[in-house]
Structure 1
Amino acid sequence: MWTSRSRVLVVLAWGAVCAGVPASAFDGTVAGQPDAATAAALPVAAAPLSSAQALKKAVSPSTSLTALQYAAEGGHPIAQWRLGRMYANGDGVTQDDQRAFEYFSRIANAHAEDSPSAPQAAVVANAFVALGRYYLQGIPNSTIKRDAERAREMFSYAASYFGNADAQYDLARLYLKGIGAPHDVKYGARWLGLAAQKGQHEAQAMLGKMLFNGDQLPRQAARGLMWLTLARDAAQPDETWITESYNRALAKASEDDRAMALQMLEHWVQGRRD
């Protein structure tokens, strides 16, 4: 799928990211605390749209299937991405993971070395993420078999070269679980931190839960509660694990933890506005 140059780019970019991201990507302290009573129920802050959500607006839903297919055959990456999503979800067409995989593969094959600042970069990055998830599970009754190492390659490329937050989250999970990669909490937590800083709410929830509980990381209850608050605000209705994790943490948090989390949250939101 990639040229040898692409594979070199993956290794170099991935190494640079891991070497250059300090532990403070997910660590932090804030001097001073607001009145604890004001933090009894932490406020929520709207997280930015993920690249996948933003891409849903790239092609009008009213665009006909025929027009999309015509554009896709002409090599238009956004049309190919839209068709891939349609076949993956069974949206207006018969659900077909094999066809979805083929459309995502076309994008990856043709645009792997596009500039990360190119207009279609988000589409290309999301195609790599989609391919990685297919390789992670495999496609029944097809030639696409489960290949966790190949999945890691897909996530690594999108995470490092394109800086895609969803890929960074998926890659973090592989390292934290030791699937398709050595079990490495340090790398996993750093990738979670990168994704969380970009507003990836699942990464925020997982990182927050780990920090609050001291699970594989030094316990930082306030910092963990801050991430869980952000994640709760962005969680979808079916992502009950995020809401439940937040509720459990809030119930266990001390007044000092809540106050510190509130101040961290305010600083984080202000930093996003600046």
Structure 2
Amino acid sequence: MAGALAPEAAFAQTSPTDAWIDDPRAAFAAGTSAYYSGDVQTALQALEAAAEGGHAVARWKLARMYAQGDGVAEDDARAFTYFSQIANAHAEDRPDTPRARFVANAFVAIAGYYNSGIGGVLSPDHTRSRQIFSYAASYFGDPDAQYHLGMMLLHGEGGDVDVRQAGRWLRLSALKGHVDAQLSLGELLYAGADGMRASPADGLKWLLIAGEFAVTPDEEQRVRNVQERYLALANTDLRARSLQMAEEWLTSPDGLAVLHARRAEEVASQ
């Protein structure tokens, strides 16, 4: 037929977007490559194609971009939609799979949106927020979820106050190197509360440990402020005992493993 494209020409005219729709993994690879090379427009096209194909990490990356205004206009409603797609499709994924940390983070983000609300789109619902944090904390063992759940239990957000359970979740998060959990647990143990006996040495131990896990300037400043406040309250014996306890944990196999993992995350994020 006159004017018809030869097979080779027809193939050459196939757009990358068409190929991406049929191969979400290739689309995701192209999207991440474009993102890190600074080509945000191509990154969006490729990641959206991958997301339409059900690629969980592509959906997570798009959600983060819209949540943070990273190369796009900040849009919490779109971020919430992408995070929700991940949660709906992968809520029962095994927690030991490589994808699980992205799924857990999606649940944490959704819980955060329910906690704060999205103007004109989502009303705050602290009860729902607490339920979602609880799921991510218990099923996926996510340290961010464990920290936020602990704080909601401590302050009675979305349900009753439960200081004992708050301490349990904060400790689980602190043991995984979560700086804010270490600080909150340290303050809680130092002073005690209804349902929890004060343990100043153990509390100060966690405040000292937090100093080893702080990475960003903001974290380092928060840790210094809290440490200075409680060190000023402690006598010499208490400081010495807490320092010894902190050093024992930091040099234990568990402590070293968590510290090394934290350092690896720091390097990977640079």
Q: Is the shorter-chain TM-score for this pair beyond 0.5, marking a shared fold? A: yes
- Structure 1 residue 96 and structure 2 residue 75: aligned? yes
Matches within 5 A, 1:145-156: 145-156=123-134
Unmatched segments (≥5 aa) in structure 1 = 1-58
2:228 maps to 247
Identity value in percent: 50
Kindly state the Cα deviation for residue 83 of structure 1 after the two structures are TM-superposed.
0.9
- Structure 1 residue 190 and structure 2 residue 164: aligned? no
Kindly state the Cα deviation for residue 119 of structure 1 after the two structures are TM-superposed.
1.3
The separation in 1 between residues aligned to 2:165 and 2:192, in whole angstroms, is 17
Aligned partner (choices 65, 73, 85) of residue 86 of structure 1: 65
Kindly state the Cα deviation for residue 215 of structure 1 after the two structures are TM-superposed.
4.3
Paired AA for residue 83 in structure 2: F
Pair 1:170–1:270, CA change in 2 (3 A)? same
The separation in 2 between residues aligned to 1:122 and 1:187, in whole angstroms, is 24
Higher helix residue share: 2
Aligned partner (choices 128, 134, 138) of residue 107 of structure 2: 128
Kindly state the Cα deviation for residue 219 of structure 1 after the two structures are TM-superposed.
2.2
- Structure 1 residue 221 and structure 2 residue 200: aligned? yes
Worse overlay, 204-213 or 164-173 = 204-213
The separation in 1 between residues aligned to 2:71 and 2:224, in whole angstroms, is 31
The separation in 2 between residues aligned to 1:77 and 1:231, in whole angstroms, is 33
The separation in 2 between residues aligned to 1:268 and 1:68, in whole angstroms, is 42
Kindly state the Cα deviation for residue 241 of structure 1 after the two structures are TM-superposed.
4.0
1:108 maps to 87
Contact preservation (8 Å) 2:163, 2:193: no
The separation in 2 between residues aligned to 1:85 and 1:232, in whole angstroms, is 28
- Structure 1 residue 163 and structure 2 residue 155: aligned? no
The structure with the larger Rg is 2
Contact preservation (8 Å) 1:211, 1:221: yes
Kindly state the Cα deviation for residue 257 of structure 1 after the two structures are TM-superposed.
1.5
- How many residues align? The count is 215
Contact preservation (8 Å) 1:132, 1:150: yes
1:260 maps to 241
Unmatched segments (≥5 aa) in structure 2 = 1-31, 38-42, 258-270
The separation in 1 between residues aligned to 2:151 and 2:142, in whole angstroms, is 15
Paired AA for residue 207 in structure 1: L
TM-score (norm 2): 0.75
Contact preservation (8 Å) 2:150, 2:169: yes
Q: Cα RMSD between the aligned structures? A: 1.7
The separation in 1 between residues aligned to 2:128 and 2:193, in whole angstroms, is 28
Contact preservation (8 Å) 1:129, 1:166: yes
TM-score (norm 1): 0.74
Aligned partner (choices 162, 185, 189) of residue 207 of structure 1: 185
Q: Secondary structure at the match of 1:98?
A: helix
Relative CO higher for 1 or 2, CA cutoff 8 Å, sep ≥ 6?
1
**C-alpha deviations, 1:94-143, integer Å up to 9, x for none?**
0000000001000000000000111100000110000000000110021x
Worse overlay, 114-123 or 244-253 = 244-253
The separation in 2 between residues aligned to 1:128 and 1:205, in whole angstroms, is 23
